[in-house]
Amino acid sequence: MNLDEIKAVTDENGKKYEIEKLLGEGGQGAVFEARGGKQAIKLIRGRSPVLRDQLRTKLQEVRRLPIEDLPIAKPLQMLAKPHVGYVMELYTGMQPLSKLIFPGKKKNPLEFYIQNGGLKRRLELLAKVAGTLSKMHSKSLIYGDPSP
């Protein structure tokens, strides 16, 4: 199933979400903004029916974890078959940490660094990430794939 061709998805309760635009993509799948801008849709790639069912089961297990107080994306609603994924709250004004990494020769390194908050902002963000990971570990949870 090509994720780029999906125009709408339905959740487990029958609510339909129209796909507005791609927000990000990785090895596991893609995240899209739903029309209305308040939710995001995580669509997970799964090649075989068995793998898709295993992923769906794992996502349902994540929904039952004690993560309400953690500042992380949480599955609010599971997607109905044939899709594997979930609906989550869309946080506005966010950007990936990878945007703080120098983009190369196109910009002046000092200007880029200052325009993006300098050392203080970077250290504050990393401290928040470390704090969240620490809270997860205190709940006997492990985040296995952190990425910028």
Each residue's pLDDT tens digit in the chain (148 positions)? 566 678 999 999 999 999 999 988 887 889 999 998 899 999 988 778 888 888 888 888 888 888 888 888 888 999 998 899 999 998 877 777 888 887 777 788 888 888 888 999 999 999 999 999 999 999 888 877 666 6
113: left (phi over 0), alpha (psi -120 to 50) or beta: alpha
